[in-house]
Every structure is written in C-alpha cells, then in structure tokens.
Amino acid sequence: MNPLKTTTRHAPTGPVVEISGNLDYTTAGELRTLITALILQPGQRLVLDLAGLKFCDSSGITAMITARNHAQAAHADIALAAVPAPTLRVLRLVGLDQIFPLHPDSDAATQP
C-alpha cells in the first residue's frame, strides 16, 4: 500500500502540488480538499507534479478535473508534470491530454 502524500511548494508561476503514492477512491477526497483550499490568483499556474504517483484510478482522475475547475474559476491555469506512463495512457484514452497541458517535470511546468 502506498498512502497518498502531498507537498505544496510555491514557484514564481504559482503553487506546485507534489503528489506521491496512490490516488484512488480512498484518497481522492483528500486531494480535492487540499486543492480547493488553495487560493489562486488570476494568471497563476497550478502545477500537479505526479512524479511520485504510484497508482491512479477514476477517482484520482476526477480529483484532477476538480483541480482544473478550481483553477479555471480563479482565472488561473493548470498543468500536469511528470505524468507516469499508466496515468498518461488513461488521460490519452479519455481525451484529457487535450485539456491538461503536460510537461516532463515541474521545472518545465513552472517556466513563465
């Protein structure tokens, strides 16, 4: 079992949430709560760094969509960084790779 662990740090472009462990039906609510509590300013970019993600089910994908909606409501952007291959495959299958900007790592995602 890989419990969800999140770390939030601030980059010049906005918050970066590093996600590791399992993002599934038992932990997705935790991420949604964290994300929706973030105060985003217009023009900022929220980055979800998935480098440490071990597993993601449909509840995890829904939490990412919640993050996107939260960013849009604040007139901010969102980007996914270091998406693991299995999660990237799912994003591509359902077309979410078309609505989430994807970056190889958080450094690339936080470039202005």
Query: What is the per-residue pLDDT for 42?
Result: 98
Which domains, and CATH codes, for the chain?
5-109 (3.30.750.24)
DSSP β-bridge partners for residue 53? 21
For 45, the token pair is 């970019």
Read off φ and ψ for residue 3, nearest 5 degrees: -60, 155
Report pTM. Answer: 0.96
**What is the model's pLDDT at position 112?**
86
Q: Could you identify the residue written with the tokens 């993002």?
A: 23
Distance (Å, whole) CA 90 – CA 71: 22
Instruction: Spell out the per-residue pLDDT of the chain, length 112, in tens.
Output: 689 999 999 999 999 999 999 999 999 999 999 999 999 999 999 999 999 999 999 999 999 999 999 999 999 999 999 999 999 999 999 999 999 999 999 999 999 8
Residues 6+ apart with CB under 8 A from 85: none
